[in-house]
Amino acid sequence: MCDVQLGGLGALTGKGFFICIEGLDGCGKTTQTKILVRELRKRGYEAVYTAEPSRGKIGKFIKRYCLHGEKRVSSIVEALLFAADRYEHVENEIAPALKIGKIVVSDRYVYSSLAYQGAAGLSLDWIRKINQHALTPNLAIYIDVEPETVIQKKPKKSVMENLETQREVRKVYMRFVENGELIRVYGNKPKEEVAKEILSIVLDRLEKNRETLSGV
């Protein structure tokens, strides 16, 4: 179980709060991430949406040549590219927002690398090592949907969106759920119910974080 711990990643400091939403392709995480940001803003929080691959040069390269190419690139190359993009993402978007006290909600983060490249056969310890620069999220949520459901629900959009890959990816994600690093939310419900559950989890954690910072 220790091989899937995120120990060694950068410590999160300051008053900001970092959340990531994870899940299989087509599970609804992009929709839920945007809903969460909107609901937090309604409640007076300074929340920002971000995603991986990022908007940076490496992220754009990944989207164009890796995710939507004719075939999947080497898993090692894939892992290194995502790690490099994540470094830029943290340095240019995530860390600056956290330093000024904002809530950052990311549609995918380091758990995606561990799940997808880990499912491709790479060592989780090695993936973790090349992502040592990545800040550890305050809260990581996994939207759990059966692979068969997501494959039937949407047409294939990337080289990773096939049933075999998604099944293996889910197995890795579930290891993080089992060791407590990811909070599991069942996604086989109306999106409004999923959103309500996620918001409840986040607000509860934000309140506990506030009490910790204030010494209550």
Sheet holding 47-51, edge to edge: 47-51, 103-107, 17-23, 139-144, 183-186
Give CA–CA dist 40/48, Å, rounded: 9
What local confidence, expressed as pLDDT, does residue 35 receive? Answer: 99
Give CA–CA dist 133/22, Å, rounded: 19
Tell me the domains of the chain and their CATH numbers.
15-209 (3.40.50.300)
How far is the CA of 210 from the CAs of 47, 153, 204, 216, in angstroms?
Answer: 16, 39, 10, 8
CB burial class (10 A; 0-12, 13-18, 19+) of residue 31? middle
First to last CA, the chain: 34
What local confidence, expressed as pLDDT, does residue 155 receive? Answer: 64
Give CA–CA dist 84/81, Å, rounded: 5
For 215, the token pair is 């010494």
What local confidence, expressed as pLDDT, does residue 5 receive? Answer: 37
What local confidence, expressed as pLDDT, does residue 69 receive? Answer: 65
What local confidence, expressed as pLDDT, does residue 1 receive? Answer: 25
What local confidence, expressed as pLDDT, does residue 171 receive? Answer: 98
What local confidence, expressed as pLDDT, does residue 15 receive? Answer: 77
What local confidence, expressed as pLDDT, does residue 152 receive? Answer: 82
Answer yes or no: are the C-beta atoms of 46 and 102 closer than 8 Å: yes
Q: What is the pLDDT along the chain (216 residues), one digit of tens a residue?
A: 223 334 444 455 557 999 999 999 999 999 999 999 999 999 999 999 999 999 999 999 999 888 876 677 899 999 999 999 999 999 999 999 999 999 999 999 999 999 999 999 999 999 999 999 999 999 999 999 999 998 887 666 666 778 999 999 999 999 999 999 999 999 999 999 999 999 999 999 999 988 765 554
What local confidence, expressed as pLDDT, does residue 114 receive? Answer: 98
Please give the torsion angle defined by the CA atoms of residues 72, 74, 76 and 81, in that order, rounded to the nearest 10 degrees. -60
Which residues, including other chains, have CB under 8 Å from residue 72's CB and lie 6 or more apart? 66, 78, 159, 160
Cα 41 to chain centroid, rounded: 20
Answer yes or no: are the C-beta atoms of 47 and 102 closer than 8 Å: yes
What local confidence, expressed as pLDDT, does residue 211 receive? Answer: 72
What local confidence, expressed as pLDDT, does residue 2 receive? Answer: 28
Going by C-alpha positions, the residue among 9, 11, 4, 12 that lies closest to residue 179 is: 4
